[in-house]
Structure 1
Amino acid sequence: MATTQIETVTTSADKAKLAVTGLLVVGAVAVFYLLGKQDLWVRVLALLVLIAAAVGVFFTSAQGKELIAFGQDSAKELRKVVWPSRPEATQMTAYVFAFVVIMALFLWLTDKTLEWVIYGLILGWKH
């Protein structure tokens, strides 16, 4: 039996940071609407400042640091990818298009054959 590992918030400081992050996001939306009589640029600036603060607090938590590490590991793995050359990519694209056309013709032919068998032979309906 396979066991699944569930990641949880480990410290109360991290819980507090995540709570503050959530409050900042909710506060950003609330401030945006509470400043409804202000110019749009003021409202958007307040929203962006509070969202930036929420992102900053999140990235100081353990989950934020794990997200940063994941992004760095992903970038390292992406640099290891061997990308196909242009002729290889063009050839594979042509193969895919050809397969799609052949499959579409096969499905159309199958559909029409079943339509003829069911409606024409079995039920005797005329189109």
Structure 2
Amino acid sequence: MADKIKFSLALVILAAGVAGFYLLSEQAMILRVLAVLVGVALAVVVAWKTEPGQRFFNFANESVVEARKVVWPSRKETVQTTAMVFAFVVVMALFLYLTDKSLEWVLYDLVLGWKKS
């Protein structure tokens, strides 16, 4: 129950930060934006103190660790793979064009007897 109260408080703080942006309409833009940023920062701090917040931040940290383990392809591998994709697209486009024209010829000229003008 305490986590729900803390999370609700975080939402209220966030809403207060956004409301501060509009309530400070006569002030400089930097103060208005600062009100929103302070509201977001305080809401994050309060949400962090909840059990679901702790799980989320642990998950985020583990995700960063896993992303660092990714082996990215070299420039040469990337260029080769991109070239293969483009070549496949060209071959597939040619195949579909020839298939379309063949079916058009079979249906219009041979089956239906229509001549294109």
Q: In structure 1, which of residues 58, 65, 87 is the aligned counterpart of residue 54 of structure 2?
A: 65
Structure 1 or 2, whichever has the larger Rg, is 2
Normalised TM-score (structure 2): 0.78
Matched positions, count: 116
| SS of the residue 2:67 aligns to | helix
Specify every segment of 5 or more residues in structure 1 that has no aligned partner in the other structure, as ranges.
1-11
Percentage of identical aligned residues: 50
- What's the C-alpha RMSD, in Å, of the aligned pairs? 2.5
Bigger helix share: 2
Q: In 2, distance between residues paired with 1:88 and 1:75?
A: 24
Q: Match of 2:66?
A: 77
Change (3 A) 1:40 1:125: farther
Instruction: Give the alignment of 1:1-127 within 5 angstroms.
Output: 12-113=1-102, 122=112, 124=114
| SS of the residue 1:81 aligns to | coil
Normalised TM-score (structure 1): 0.72
Specify every segment of 5 or more residues in structure 2 that has no aligned partner in the other structure, as ranges.
none
Q: In 1, distance between residues paired with 2:63 and 2:31?
A: 37
